[in-house]
Amino acid sequence: RKEVEQDPGPFNVPEGATVAFNCTYSNSASQSFFWYRQDCRKEPKLLMSVYSSGNEDGRFTAQLNRASQYISLLIRDSKLSDSATYLCVVNHLKGTYKYIFGTGTRLKVLA
Amino acid sequence: NAGVTQTPKFQVLKTGQSMTLQCAQDMNHEYMSWYRQDPGMGLRLIHYSVGAGITDQGEVPNGYNVSRSTTEDFPLRLLSAAPSQTSVYFCASSRTSGRVRPGELFFGEGSRLTVL
């Protein structure tokens, strides 16, 4: 079993739709959680960190469920420019800073 | 605003050749790492370092060497290239290490390596 698992998609949604992705992690000692965005043939870039109480950044909302060991990303009012691959990232060993990436979920927003 | 700089951006090697991918960051980050990205596999950690003189293995270290003689540089060496090492390689750095909460990873633009 992979340490961090994501549905690869693609998720094809119309503009304006709301879409949600989940990511599960296997190590209960995982400390920090992030969502990264990667455009085709580009480097990943931080979209948002995920905090225990959940957090929101504009149209994006991230949630953490430690009991069930998953994090989620909700995108409201999807834009064409949201089309990308969304990577779930977990840092699971205290003090050693090994960032483990999921394989990513591909999103295509259609006009 | 250089951030993380990787060179070369593209490279073609023959099986058995050796080469070094260079990575430099100008943000005084303690943490640096190398990933490879393959279709359907996501980013896999090759090696990482939490400071000058300290390196450790990630998920897929075989066939690669690293060293960290300075805070700024973290080169990745392919000892004897194999077709299985055809991939896109990313270097990434972060400002935090030790007991502080992990921070944002900053990535270089990637190095696309083909081994024939």
- How close A18 comes to chain B (CA, Å)? 25
**Residue A1 — pLDDT band, cuts 50, 70, 90?**
confident
Element (H, E) at B45: strand B42-51
pLDDT of residue A13: 97
Q: Order of strands, edge to edge, in the sheet holding B64-66? A: B4-7, B19-25, B76-78, B64-66
pLDDT of residue A31: 81
Q: Say how far apart CA B88 and CA B113 lie, in whole Å.
A: 6
Q: Strand A105-110 vs strand A11-14: parallel, antiparallel, or unpaired? A: parallel
Nearest to A44 among B41, B99, B107 (CB): B107
Residues A88/A6, Cβ–Cβ less than 8 Å: yes
Chain segment B70-83, per-residue pLDDT in tens: 999 999 999 999 99
Residues 57-76 of B with CB under 8 A from A: 58
- Return the minimum-mean-pLDDT range out of A4-13, A81-90, B99-108: B99-108
Question: In the structure encoding, which two tokens stand for residue A17, read together?
Answer: 């739709």
- Whether the CB of A9 is below 8 Å from some CB of chain B: the reply is no
pLDDT of residue A93: 61
Among chain A residues, CA nearest to B100:
A95
- How close B109 comes to chain A (CA, Å)? 5
pLDDT of residue B45: 92
> Would the pLDDT of B101 be above 60?
no
Q: Say how far apart CA B115 and CA B11 lie, in whole Å.
A: 8
- Return the minimum-mean-pLDDT range out of A47-51, B9-13, B101-105: B101-105
pLDDT of residue A6: 94
Specify the length of chain A in residues. Answer: 111
Q: What are the backbone dihedrals phi and psi of residue A36, each rounded to the nearest 5 degrees, phi first? A: -115, 155
- How close A110 comes to chain B (CA, Å)? 23
pLDDT of residue B26: 94
Matching residue, tokens 């948002």: A48
User: CB B45 to CB A96 under 8 A?
Assistant: no
Share above pLDDT 70 across residues of chain B, in percent, rounded to a whole number: 93
> Would the pLDDT of A96 be above 70?
no
pLDDT of residue B72: 96
User: CB B41 to CB A103 under 8 A?
Assistant: yes
- Whether the CB of B43 is below 8 Å from some CB of chain A: the reply is yes
Question: In the structure encoding, which two tokens stand for residue B38, read together?
Answer: 């393959």
- Whether the CB of A19 is below 8 Å from some CB of chain B: the reply is no
> Would the pLDDT of B50 be above 70?
yes
Among chain B residues, CA nearest to A47:
B104
Q: Say how far apart CA A9 and CA A12 lie, in whole Å.
A: 8
Residues 29-48 of A with CB under 8 A from B: 31-32, 34, 36, 41-46
pLDDT of residue A11: 95
Q: Would you tell me how many other CB atoms lie within 10 Å of the CB of residue B66?
A: 23
Mean pLDDT within B42-64: 93
Chain segment A16-75, per-residue pLDDT in tens: 999 999 999 998 888 889 999 999 989 999 999 898 888 999 999 999 999 999 999 999
